[in-house]
Amino acid sequence: MADVDATHGTGTPPVDALRAAESAGTPAGQAAFDDQNKPAFDDQNRPSADLVSDCVHCGFCLTTCPTYTLWGEEMDSPRGRIHLIGQGLSGEPLSDSMVGHFDNCLGCMACVTACPSGVQYDRLIEDTRAQVERRHERTGRDRALRAAIFALFPYPRRLRLLRGPLWAYQRSGLQRLVGRAGVLERVAPRLATLESLAPRLMRKVPKPPRRVAARGDRRAVVGMLTGCVQSAFFPEVNAATVRVLAAEGCDVLIPSGQGCCGALSVHNGRRAEAQRFARKLIATFERTGMDYFVVNAAGCGSSLKEYGELLADDPAYAARAAAFAAKVRDLAELLVELGPVAERHPLQVTAAYHDACHLGHAQGVRAQPRALLRGIPGLEVREIADPEICCGSAGVWNVLNPVPAAELGDRKASAVAATGAALLVTANPGCLMQVAAALRRRGGSIAMAHTVQVLDASIRGLPVSALL
């Protein structure tokens, strides 16, 4: 391995040294190294030395990073993790400690918004996590937990199978009894986290129609992602999405057989799995003749817009993925782009709007949801303090890290409660579940709704009580 002596900022080698280390490849004696001493990264989509060098360690990211806010630990800040990536590119092994700091990252991308140098931390952490998943040997317990998570959450049908038992558990009174006894928290804290996150369920979920015609003149044909958690636990959000799109002049296409978009997988380093999901989704929708592909879950939308990068090395799908990604729109994004045609009826309510991280930071969609809400007569939008700090959901991060996730959730719940709003509005199922659980821990509550549910109530002329 090429020698790397010079340091930059907190110790990340400068780009010329990193490039030299990269070009040197595997040293002749490397075969004799054991797994603990091999360089952190192989040549398959290794993190970019150029992107590492973009970080000047200015510290603007620190106050926006949830883990640095919790612990004040340099290596649990974006610039600290970039330093570790640089060390890995220089030939340092992928130690348990290094992996722990990478795992601690929520992937909220608040640092990307805050960075004055335009550092692409999102690409760096995504490529790093893919290396970790391929090259690092996790403990048996960690492997089992992650295997269970990814055998369940990306599969809508499997999630829907849980609805019946969960509904019975909630309605029988057993949930209240278990909660008072505190059994789950003591015996299985991660299961307790999952139990606390589950929303109150309806008994049955009707299947969505395959096609819904626009009301009035057709302005667009849109494909719609039903999602995994969204379809299983928030089907009313999907139903409201269909109604609002139709009211705004869109034919809505919901082909059967669509599965996971791959967001959870790609955000956790499971790149090959994410690519399989992406190929299937593209093949399902590209024959529909859609003008746009609409997403109502922030984490999904951020990954869908990056399909071109995810499948860039696949000769059969690279061009198809780029064309598909160009049609992806967050629901609020599309509605503002088209402009309103359906009449808005008054809703006399105060609403606190929460920026889901993968909508605000990853997609840069902040103004559009607020514009839609402010377009409803009588509705007052209130801002939440420290909006850049993640609520702690972050896909499955709250399941993998229940204690710090609860701390972040409690912090967000306090900020929400301080607004005095009667309704919390956001655009991501994970955020809704996380903040609701945190508010319950505080002994309080607030009505919650997806942005599209508020629009739907206004367009249909429903009373405010339908939301509260």
Fold matches, 211-336 and 343-466: yes
Q: Which CATH architecture has domain 15-137?
A: Orthogonal Bundle (1.10)
Report the topology of domain 211-336.
Rossmann fold (3.40.50)
Could you give the C-alpha distances from 54 to 6, 254, 435, 455, in angstroms and in order?
A: 16, 42, 35, 42
Assigned token pair, 185: 């928290």
Tell if the pTM clears 0.85, that is, is over it: yes
Assigned token pair, 369: 């949801």
Residue 439 CA to residue 455 CA, distance in Å, equals: 24
Sheet architecture: strand order including 292-295:
211-212, 250-253, 220-224, 292-295, 328-330
Which pLDDT score is estimated for 207? 82
Domain ranges for the chain = 15-137, 141-197, 211-336, 343-466
| pLDDT per residue as tens, the chain (468 positions) | 333 333 333 445 455 545 554 555 444 333 333 556 789 999 999 999 999 999 999 999 999 999 999 999 999 999 999 999 999 999 999 999 999 999 999 999 999 999 999 999 999 999 999 999 999 999 999 999 999 999 999 999 899 888 888 888 888 888 778 777 777 777 777 878 888 888 888 767 778 899 999 999 999 999 999 999 999 999 999 999 999 999 999 999 999 889 999 999 999 999 999 999 999 999 999 989 999 999 999 999 999 999 999 999 999 999 999 999 999 999 999 999 999 999 999 999 999 999 999 999 999 999 999 999 999 999 999 999 999 999 999 999 999 999 999 999 999 999 999 999 999 999 998 999 999 999 988 888 899 999 999 999 999 999 999 999
Q: Which of 108, 193, 101 is nearest to 391 (CA)?
A: 108
The DSSP letter of residue 388 is T
Residue length of the chain: 468
CATH for 343-466, options being 1.20.1630, 3.30.70, 3.30.470, 3.40.50: 3.40.50
44 phi, psi to nearest 5 deg: -85, 105
Neighbours of 226 (CB within 10 A): 22
